[in-house]
Amino acid sequence: MNSILIFLKGWLVSFLGQLPLGTMSITSTQIAVQESFRNAWKYSLGVAIVEIIYLRFTLTGVDWIIQHSILFIILGWVTAILFLILGIFSFLTAYKQQAEKKAVLLENNISRFFLGLSMSALNPAQIPFWFIWSSYLINNGSLPIDSVSFNIFTLGCGTGTIAGLALYMYGGNWIIRRMNTGNRILNIIMGCVFIIAAIAQFYRMIWGNII
């Protein structure tokens, strides 16, 4: 029973963490709408795998993360610049778009699984997110400090991430179909999300703490 509770805690934290509109979630919606649910599931699995690695690393490698924080600082700046570029290109694509074209991020033959892996890897914000939550759960006794509990918690978080992205895949697709929204509007929405994410990341890098 204790293992089930640990799994559910991980699932709930990760699921709720996926609910706010972000680059990961809106991309899963775009893939589902503009390509297929199969590709959207591949993308979601890629996102979840990297998040699982980051979380497991956070649970057991806090000292290493602190000692090598410069790596995550560099990654944070790269992410901010990349989001800004993608946001600008999304707006340019929407402005110039005459026919129904895919989003800028999807105009390639890259495996959607690899796309999920790479986008998740370029999201260092999840490290402090998991650091805060895991520290909170450990300090109040909700997450025992042992390898088995960490593994169960991590597995729950991975499934929670996939569940949250699935909500955007199917729920977002339903809303877009009901509203009869075209790809141009999707590109504008994606551009807004990327620009907001870039501003938030720049703010975090300049005035906040990446680790």
Task: Tell which residue, 109, 105, 111, 103, has the closest CA to residue 45.
Answer: 111
Angle of helix 37-60 relative to helix 147-179, nearest 10 degrees, comes to: 150
Structure tokens at 31: 């893939």
Structure tokens at 164: 């949250």
Q: Say if residues 58 and 65 touch (Cβ distance below 8 Å).
A: yes
- pLDDT of amino acid 63: 47
Lowest mean pLDDT among 43-47, 96-100, 134-138, 166-170: 96-100
pLDDT(148) > 80: yes
Regarding pTM above 0.85, the answer is no
pLDDT tens-place string over residues 162-186:
999 999 899 877 877 776 665 666 6
Q: Report which residue type is found at 28.
A: S
pLDDT tens-place string over residues 89-126:
777 766 665 555 555 567 677 888 998 898 888 776 67
pLDDT above 90 coverage of the chain, percent: 16
Measured between alpha carbons, how far is residue 137 from residues 97, 140, 199, 200 in Å? Answer: 48, 5, 30, 26
Q: Higher confidence at residue 201 or residue 155?
A: 155
Q: Higher confidence at residue 112 or residue 193?
A: 112
**Which residues are CB-contacts of 4 (< 8 A; sequence separation ≥ 6)?**
none
Angle of helix 23-34 relative to helix 147-179, nearest 10 degrees, comes to: 50
d(CA 195, CA 180): 25
pLDDT tens-place string over residues 14-35:
888 887 777 788 888 888 888 8
Q: Say if residues 72 and 211 touch (Cβ distance below 8 Å).
A: yes
